[in-house]
Amino acid sequence: LADLPAVGIARLPALLRGGVWRYSEWIAVPGAIGERLSMGEGQTALIALDDVSVKLEFVSPTGSFKDRGAVALVASAVARGARELVADSSGNAGSAIAAYAARAGLPCTVFVPEGTSGAKRRQIEGYGAALRVVPGDRMAAAGAAAATVAETGAMYASHVWDPMFLQGTKTFAFECWEQLGRRGPDAVVIPVGNGTLVLGAARGFRELRAAGAIERLPRLIGLQSERCAPLAVAWAQRQPNPAPVAPSQATVAEGIAIPAPARGAQILAAVLESGGCVLSVPEASIAPAQRDLARRGLLVEPTAAVAWAAALMLSERLPAPADDGLWKAAAELCTGTVVVPLCGSGLKSG
């Protein structure tokens, strides 16, 4: 093998700041603390797959995009003098908050619903957090966390309620814009439960528009599993406020199984403002979409595959639900430059 020609050190690009703190000046959290806690979260690759771009959000320190929000939330908690954190999660947010709490040296308790995968439970415990498994669904875990916060005075590090989480997730939008050559995408296809990525992306794209970097907001296409789809149901019925649903059967998309999303009205308003829509994906299409990605080298968890299932259906590579006018309308929205985040790692789903 021939030696490569020597490359002058002057050719090295200027050092970039780590993780989401590349955008430190745009994040309303003390950057000095954030940079200290950073583990290089975000700055994920955007690669071509068929005729869309997928953003590899599962390649982040704890294996999901939640690291973007968690680093901002924990940095803000440190700045506010927190001594102990409590979180509730179906898994990935809990893992992310547990990891960054560990990095900050803060004790952390995470409440998860009983359906949370063994891999996610082990991951949370691995970071040294106290894991509390709550009988019932995601809402029961939130209730238990709130009760503990009231009893102990620990800080509620809620990815759903604390606006600092969105200060981190909005960097997803900034990165899309940079990676597309300083242009916004036309549409983004996002799995949605509590809406932390939809709301973060909406905020980021709004800020880019306010800065004159883009002219139009990308259309946000939100996806849920048909087995737990309060937002998709509300969208189809043109209701601004989603009614809680009772999940009849468990979905493999555990990360978005949120029967009563706390910020439901806000999520629907953000989607409406963007010109997008919310759809529900047939449960039977999730596993084939997950397999399709894995066969191309991208091992994601089922929840992440929901977005890919939708992308395949919107481009007619998987059959969309028959006679469903919503899917036909959505296919028209999903044209031009389309970004599909792949949100969580397949190593977590065992």
Ligand X SMILES: *Cc1c(COP(=O)(O)O)cnc(C)c1O
Give residues in contact with ligand X (CB under 6 A).
64, 66, 92-93, 191-198, 255-256, 301, 303-304, 343-344
Residue whose CB is less far from ligand X, 33 or 141: 141
Query: What are the φ and ψ backbone dihedral angles of 309, each rounded to 5 degrees?
Result: -55, -45
Residue whose CB is less far from ligand X, 185 or 230: 230
- Residue 323 in tokens: 């006679």
- Per-residue HEC secondary structure of 227-286 comes to CECHHHHHHHCCCCCCCCCCCCCCCCCHHHCCCCCCCHHHHHHHHHHHCCEEEEECHHHH
Residue whose CB is less far from ligand X, 33 or 304: 304
Minimum separation from the CB atom of position 137 to ligand X (A): 14
Minimum separation from the CB atom of position 103 to ligand X (A): 19
**Nearest residue to the partner ligand X, using Cβ:** 344
Minimum separation from the CB atom of position 343 to ligand X (A): 3
Minimum separation from the CB atom of position 66 to ligand X (A): 6
Q: What is the DSSP string of 120-148?
A: HHHHHHHTTPEEEEESS-HHHHHHHHHHH
Q: What is the DSSP string of 37-102?
A: H----S---EEEETTEEEE-TTSSTTSBTHHHHHHHHHHHHHHTT-S-EEEE-SSHHHHHHHHHHH
How far, in Å, CA of 66 to CA of 41, rounded?
Answer: 9
Minimum separation from the CB atom of position 89 to ligand X (A): 8
How far, in Å, CA of 19 to CA of 176, rounded?
Answer: 14
CB contact at 8 A, 286 and 320: no
Minimum separation from the CB atom of position 192 to ligand X (A): 4
Residue whose CB is less far from ligand X, 184 or 200: 200
Residue whose CB is less far from ligand X, 188 or 192: 192
Residue whose CB is less far from ligand X, 33 or 55: 55
